[in-house]
Amino acid sequence: MAFSAEVKGELCRPRVSRRCCAQAEAYGVLLFCGAFHPRQARIVTECAALKERLPLLFRKAFKLSFDQTPEPGEGKGAFLIEDPIKLQAIFETFDLERDASVSLHINLSQLEEDHCRTAFLRGAFLAGGSVTDPMKGYHLELATSHYHVGRELPALLREAGFEPKETQRKGNRVVYFKQSHHIEDFLTYLGAPVSAMAVMNAKLERDLQGRVNRQVNCDSANLDKTVAAAREQIAAIGRLEASGRMDALPDKLREAARLRMEYPELNLGQLGGLCEPAVSKSAFNHRMRKLLELAEGSAEQARTWEE
């Protein structure tokens, strides 16, 4: 199941006890659904939980039923109201004019109470909202075809303590959030704390995976450097042996060269621990640097070098 469907399923579980909240939620659904105008209200959805909720919601809000409902088992289906008397009742509930030339607005007088404002935003999300699976990214949006509604929604959200962003897409006004903590807060506000926790857990998992990947990459890079350095050191020791200069080296350098050749897989700190007596990583690295210098220099350098 898509994450959006899971969120909407969670939002549809609680019953609507207050009629004012039922009306506010239905108001949000209507302003963000497929079509809402003086001749028709058409709500299209494929969310099974919302299909079960809508008839109960509209009966509670307006004491009316839909003229058409989806067939049982149908995927995406439409709820339709075209009866003029029913439409008149809906428009009168929200003090809206049934004039085809009038653009719809959010009637804020219907949303003065906090619980009604929450119900309205829940309905808006159920009808025109979506949220990305948090394991793939962070994006939650609400889209409406009503220009003024899309312009007024951000102000309503700011009153509720949110800071959304706005854009326009294919004739729709879109209000959205892109940061995980904003999405968590908004889902919690709507009444979906389980989904909000899923966003939080996904963020923690992604952050942890990112840290692990960075550590692995860092370890891999360090290993590559160690291997490259060991190859360079072994090649230098080989040149010293081939030129007969190894016997002229001080005991400590010969010991370092022997250990490097015997244990090519060990790092400098481990090689330093094998010396007699043991020396630090820094000291062993100093000996390796001298071997590299001597491999590029002369036999005279080997005879005159002192650690």
Phi then psi dihedrals of residue 51, to 5 deg: -60, -35
Taking each helix axis from N to C end, the angle separating 19-31 and 114-128, rounded to the nearest 10 degrees, works out to 40
pLDDT in tens, 213-242: 777 777 777 777 878 888 888 888 888 888
> Can you say whether the dihedral through the CA atoms of 83, 86, 92, 94 is positive or negative?
negative
Over the stretch 185-216, which tens digit does the pLDDT of each residue have? 999 999 999 999 999 988 888 777 777 777 77
Whole-angstrom Cα distance, residue 292 to residue 40?
Answer: 86
* Contact predicate 134/180, CB 8 Å: yes
Question: Cα(260)–Cα(262) distance, rounded to whole angstroms?
Answer: 6
- Phi, psi at 172, each rounded to 5°: -105, 145
Per-residue confidence of the chain (307 residues) as pLDDT tens digits?
Answer: 689 999 999 999 988 888 999 999 999 999 999 789 889 999 999 999 999 999 999 999 999 999 999 987 778 889 999 999 999 999 999 988 776 555 788 988 889 899 999 999 999 999 999 999 998 999 999 999 999 999 999 999 998 999 999 999 988 999 999 999 999 999 999 999 999 999 998 888 877 777 777 777 777 777 778 788 888 888 888 888 888 888 888 889 889 889 888 888 888 888 889 999 999 989 998 988 998 888 887 544 544 544 4
pLDDT score at 170: 87
User: Could you tell me if 152 and 121 are in contact, meaning their C-beta atoms sit under 8 angstroms apart?
Assistant: no
Say what the pLDDT of residue 175 is.
96
Question: Which CA distances in Å does 111 have to 108, 148, 169, 247?
Answer: 5, 17, 27, 93
The C-alpha atoms of residue 260 and residue 283 are separated, in whole angstroms, by 14
Token readout for 179 is: 């940061």
What per-residue confidence (pLDDT) applies to 306?
Answer: 44
Q: Is the dihedral of CA 140, 146, 151, 156 positive or negative?
A: negative
Separation CA 49–CA 51 (nearest Å): 5
- Contact between 237 and 257 under an 8 Å Cβ cutoff? The reply is yes
Q: What's the rounded Cα separation, in Å, for the pair 227 and 267? A: 9
- Cis amide leading into 72 (omega within 30): no
Q: Residue type for 187, please?
A: L
Q: Which two tokens stand for residue 201?
A: 């857990």
